[in-house]
Amino acid sequence: MASNSNRNLVPEAKNGLSRLKNEVASEVGLNNYENTDKGNLTSKQNGSVGGEMVKRMVEQ
């Protein structure tokens, strides 16, 4: 069985990733994303946040 890949490889980056996630979510129209139940959002909405986060991290 595979280990959980949904973890931060650099624990010190957790706050920065949270800020980036909330910034991206706000830009795509998902306000108060931090306190939103992600299960009530569509795959497209959640995917757009994650996809844009990855895009920005790769660009840097």
Whether the CB-CB separation of 49 and 36 falls below 8 Å is answered with: no
Q: Which two tokens stand for residue 57?
A: 């991290």
Is 8 part of a structural domain of the chain? Answer: no
Sign of the Cα pseudo-torsion (33, 45, 53, 23, in order): negative
Confidence at residue 38, expressed as pLDDT on a 0 to 100 scale: 92
Confidence at residue 1, expressed as pLDDT on a 0 to 100 scale: 52
Domain region containing 59: 15-29+42-60
Is 4 part of a structural domain of the chain? Answer: no
Query: Does residue 2 have a pLDDT over 70?
Result: no
What's the rounded Cα separation, in Å, for the pair 31 and 23? Answer: 9
Is 37 part of a structural domain of the chain? Answer: no
Round to the nearest angstrom and report the end-to-end CA distance of the chain: 33
Is 2 part of a structural domain of the chain? Answer: no
Query: How many other C-beta atoms can be found within 10 angstroms of the C-beta atom of residue 33?
Result: 20
Is 34 part of a structural domain of the chain? Answer: no
Counting the structural domains of the chain, the total is: 1
Residues 4-59 have pLDDT tens digits of 677 778 889 899 999 999 999 999 999 999 999 999 999 999 999 999 999 999 99
